[in-house]
Structure 1
Amino acid sequence: MKFITYVLLDKKVNSQNIQFVMDIGSYAELAGNIINNNPYQRNRVSKSGSIYNLLKEDILKECIIPPIVLASTSKLMPGSSPDDLLEEVLADYANLKILDGLQRTLSIIDVYNNNRAHFDGLTEKYFIRIEAYLSISDSGILYRMLTLNTGQTPMTLRHQLEILFSKYADGEFDGVKILREVDDSSVRSINDYRFSDLIDGYTSFLEKNELPIDRVDILQTVRTIKFISDEGFEKMEFSDFVNSYRALSLAFDVRFSGWSYPDDVDEDMRTAANPFGREVYKIFNKSQPLSGFGAAIAELISSGTIKGLDDIKSLVPNLEFEENDLIRINKFLDDIRGEAKKIGNGQRIFFKLFFKYLLDHDGSSFLKVSDSLERAKNRAMAEV
């Protein structure tokens, strides 16, 4: 049972918005069919004593809860009445997503399934307020998800950036496994990358700046959507960026196959704190080297030193290594840790300088890993 209360046009996302109410049983049934349709939703909040336990109690007391926001990507026939459009949208489960209200929806499903006799016995139906965006574009969905994310459990900034850049996640990545925040997985090999770390690197490449973007104000993040909201926008080399960095990291992984931080490091090269990375992937599959790489490559391309990202793969086979290069990386990062006001920023500066010296064919340490590390450390210590 449902009743339409209002129909509006959202001109920002060019989508018709229909506001309506639906009885709790009908919504619980609908939600059960669409609950997993949005891969960018947050995980379920399951902490004991959370605000959502209170919400369940409120629903049983027939408290009116905030509206749920849905979105449909179905292409609808023009000229149909709002009732017919809504009927068509709600029947097309595959193209219907929850934009805002996932935790409320999970609470509604739990409460209804565990208390059907209570709700079926009500003399008047208990209604859920809902609004649905019809025929909304993918970029419109992403924009609305961010602007609606003002509830009791906000998304992490990493999750927000994953949503902003989600259109790039389906590129062709040779052997790369991309981990999103909602996957609840960790980096365990040279093949694994967090999507948010790749985004950090790519953002540094686009902005020619290895330091993190200002993430204090949610409005700043929302503004970033303008960068990718154009439906005709090209992927701007994201796949090339990932694959070129992977080629470089694989070169280290092959040269130092099976390496782990040794117990018998010479005293002058021993780290005071825990090493930055005890294995190859723990050094290179992180935000700091990705960001440094992005900024370095952008500067080299801008100066004309290299033509583009494709050049990296041709340079990799010519890298010159020395036996203790990975120990040097850990030692130099440890030295920088002791001097830097912000450790993460200091690490990013070091990696930017390292990759820049390593790949600059006009420089004295071109393709020489050890020399590039030494130069990067000396310069970074002066900058941090």
Structure 2
Amino acid sequence: MNWLFDERTECYSVQTTLTVGEYLDLVESAYQSKGSLSGQRDALKTTTGKRIRERMVSDIRRGAVLPPVVIGVVVDEKTFQKYPVADAILIEEILPEDVKGKLSIIDGMQRTTALMEAASVDIGVRDRAMRVEFWLTRSVRAMVYRMLVLNTGQVPWTLGRQLSVVYAPLLAEITDRVPELNRVFTPDKGGRRVTAGEFGSDAIVELYIAFNLRKVTVDTKESLSDEFSRLDFVENVSDDRFQGQFYSVMSVLVQLDKAFSKYDSGAPVRFGKGRNIFDGQPARIGLVVAIAQYVLGRPGADRQSGERATRMDEIVTNAGAMCTRVGKLNVEELGDFLRLEVLTETLDRRVGQVGRYERNMFFEAFNVLVSEGFEVPSMEPCWRAN
């Protein structure tokens, strides 16, 4: 195995040779929990794409050597400190058993699809040798940076698709770093939000994108044609503190969600409970982007890393103090503080593009909360900000 240390992202690059069969078995076990490989990046479906893949399958069967497939692996600190393992021969010697189901193909999805097709029609392909490069990291942020900056010249991915490659390790790290989260439900482990502190995995990934781009309207299905957005994304994930700041924002969101959820009017209306505020994505996006702009700066006007850290600490302190104050209120007092009837009236306005309107409305609302240092007599000035 050939080991190199990437000083920029603090990752180890390990290139080795496996048989096609060993590689496919490793990939298959890694994605059993996700159902299929197509969940990461679909095989090309265009006529040209199909022809290219058919040619690739034919070349593989004739003995062609493909460029290395790149696999991303997030390991814990204890495992990372053991690297490099100079005398390692088998993959099992560098990959702990518990991470094999969390591998991410960050470069080579189409080659993997072609290898699977070739092996299905010619069993002899499984005995052929192929090169595989493993990127071993202890940080999801480093993997995202590696993917966005160094994976060039490919079929354009959507922003959501690129992040879905590190979907599992990102969610695993969030649940570890944001202990206030009660539950994260995924497409594989479905569910619905029944109490505060529960969110869907897709919603969390969208919040991550919104925090990074500092925009309330995030289309995860669009390609990264906006070079300014791509640049903002890369610049943010290059900051060592950025990932931790996102987790801090998620912690603030969950704390507010739980504090507000203690109120229940008993009325069968949209905002009859305090929990209903963050039941929808517009309020979550609004809060996250309001904090993002305060901490990171508006798009195109980025703050320095030190100022970001100071402002993030300020947000965490002020939000925590507000949650403590709210936690001391009885149900009637909490209802008077939340002023959900004012929120309802604000959102009942007949407007076009309801989703966009609600995101902007909540963004303006939480902008007030942030600018006031989370010290407001009630939420009414927030709900009436737009």
TM-score by length of 2: 0.61
Q: Deviations over 1:179-207 (max 9, x none)?
A: 45x65857554443235656777999999
Q: What aligned pairs does 1:82-231 form with structure 2 within 5 A after superposition?
A: 84=88, 89=93, 93-96=97-100, 97-101=103-107, 103-104=109-110, 107-108=113-114, 110-117=116-123, 119=125, 126-134=128-136, 136-139=137-140, 140-147=142-149, 151-152=154-155, 154-157=157-160, 160=163, 167-170=173-176, 171-173=178-180, 176-179=182-185, 183=188, 185=190, 187-191=192-196, 192-195=198-201, 197=203, 216=226, 217-228=229-240
Question: Structure 1: where are the runs of 5+ without partners?
Answer: 262-276
Contact 2:107/2:151 (CA < 8 Å) preserved in 1? Answer: no
- One-letter amino acid of the counterpart of residue 308, structure 1: A
TM-score by length of 1: 0.62
Q: 1:110 to 1:157 in 2, by over 3 A?
A: closer
Q: How far off its partner does 1:61 sit?
A: 0.5
- Secondary structure in structure 2 of the residue aligned to 1:62: helix
Contact 1:71/1:98 (CA < 8 Å) preserved in 2? Answer: yes
Higher helix share: 2
- Decide which of 233, 237, 245 is 2:256's aligned counterpart: 245
User: Does 1:288 pair with 2:282?
Assistant: yes
Contact 2:68/2:132 (CA < 8 Å) preserved in 1? Answer: yes
Q: 1:117 to 1:339 in 2, by over 3 A?
A: closer
Q: 1:186 to 1:337 in 2, by over 3 A?
A: farther
Q: What aligned pairs does 1:248-267 form with structure 2 within 5 A after superposition?
A: 248-252=259-263, 254-256=264-266, 259-260=268-269
Contact 2:6/2:13 (CA < 8 Å) preserved in 1? Answer: yes
Q: How far off its partner does 1:241 sit?
A: 1.1
Contact 1:25/1:112 (CA < 8 Å) preserved in 2? Answer: no
Query: Which residue does 1:61 correspond to in 2?
Result: 58
- Secondary structure in structure 1 of the residue aligned to 2:131: strand
- Secondary structure in structure 2 of the residue aligned to 1:169: helix
How many pairs does the alignment contain?
336
Question: Structure 2: where are the runs of 5+ without partners?
Answer: 295-310
Provide the rounded CA distance (Å) in 2 between the counterparts of 1:7 and 1:306.
Answer: 45
Query: Which residue does 2:21 correspond to in 1?
Result: 25
Q: 1:200 to 1:112 in 2, by over 3 A?
A: closer
- Secondary structure in structure 2 of the residue aligned to 1:100: strand
Q: 1:66 to 1:332 in 2, by over 3 A?
A: farther
Q: Deviations over 1:312-347 (max 9, x none)?
A: 54255322349xx65653442243845999635532
- Secondary structure in structure 2 of the residue aligned to 1:335: coil
Q: Percent identity of the aligned residues?
A: 13
- Decide which of 326, 329, 334 is 1:319's aligned counterpart: 334
Provide the rounded CA distance (Å) in 1 between the counterparts of 2:170 and 2:212.
Answer: 15
Contact 1:8/1:16 (CA < 8 Å) preserved in 2? Answer: yes
Query: Which residue does 2:299 correspond to in 1?
Result: none
